[in-house]
Homo-oligomer: A and B are copies of this chain.
Amino acid sequence: MPKVGMEPVRRAQLIDATCESIFRFGLADTTINKISGLAGVSTGIISHYFGGKNELVEATMRKILIDLGEAVSSRVRQAKTPRQKIWAIIEGNFSHHQTSLRFVTSWLAFWSQAMHVPSLAKLQNVNRRRLQSNLVFWYRRLLSPEEAKIAADGMAALIDGLWLRGAFEQQGFDSQKAKAIAFDYLNRQLV
């Protein structure tokens, strides 16, 4: 019998290598040769486990969004008050793992790519709406419906904007600074 149970291992390996390649070369210059080279496997494996490059890229995006969602929701669960819940959402978005350049680079590449690839757009929309509706839910506990809508849209945009600009910081993403800005915004929203 051949080695069994390799599937989850290989899939994780290849998704990691895809992130690494997007980080190093950009999505446009990410080829299955580079991915399989980084993963230390042959190119054929990609078709074998994912069907093709597109599916691997999609799986990578899904992984990133799921990780991000989990980082947020695990923190939100532990929070008590509505204010702490929003705080937790911000914290989750700027937790260490999420702000590694490796992560942010892929996130940005996907955001751009999603505009023209339906399967990615679907994932992107789910994620975008999740952040927005989470925020609205807790802001409503503290503000009028109209104010909550504006506050949530503003905070969601600020979080994504901090990521976006953070991706270009020479000295790497400064998550402390990002959090400080977001918390400052939050304090001002809640008077």
Contacts and interface: CB of A to CB of B under 8 A. Distances in A.
Contact of A177 (B113, B121, B153, B158): B153
A29 B185 contact: no
Oligomer copy total? 4
Nearest to A158: B158
Contacts of A108: 111-112, 115
Contact of A28 (B27, B124, B150, B164): B27
Instruction: Classify the secondary structure of A's interface with B.
Output: helix
Contacts of A180: 150
A82 interface: no
Given A165-B128, A181-B150, A184-B150, A28 B158 contact: no
Interface bracket on A:
35 or more
A26 interface: yes
Nearest to A162: B157
Contacts of A165: 128, 153, 156-157, 160
Contacts of A112: 26-27, 108-109, 111-113
A105 B150 CA distance: 24
Give the 6 A-B CB pairs with smallest separation, nearest first.
Answer: A161-B161, A26-B116, A157-B161, A188-B188, A112-B112, A160-B161
22 contacts: A25-B116, A26-B112, A26-B117, A27-B112, A28-B113, A108-B111, A109-B115, A114-B168, A115-B167, A115-B168, A150-B181, A153-B165, A157-B158, A157-B181, A158-B158, A158-B161, A158-B185, A160-B161, A161-B162, A185-B185, A185-B188, A188-B189
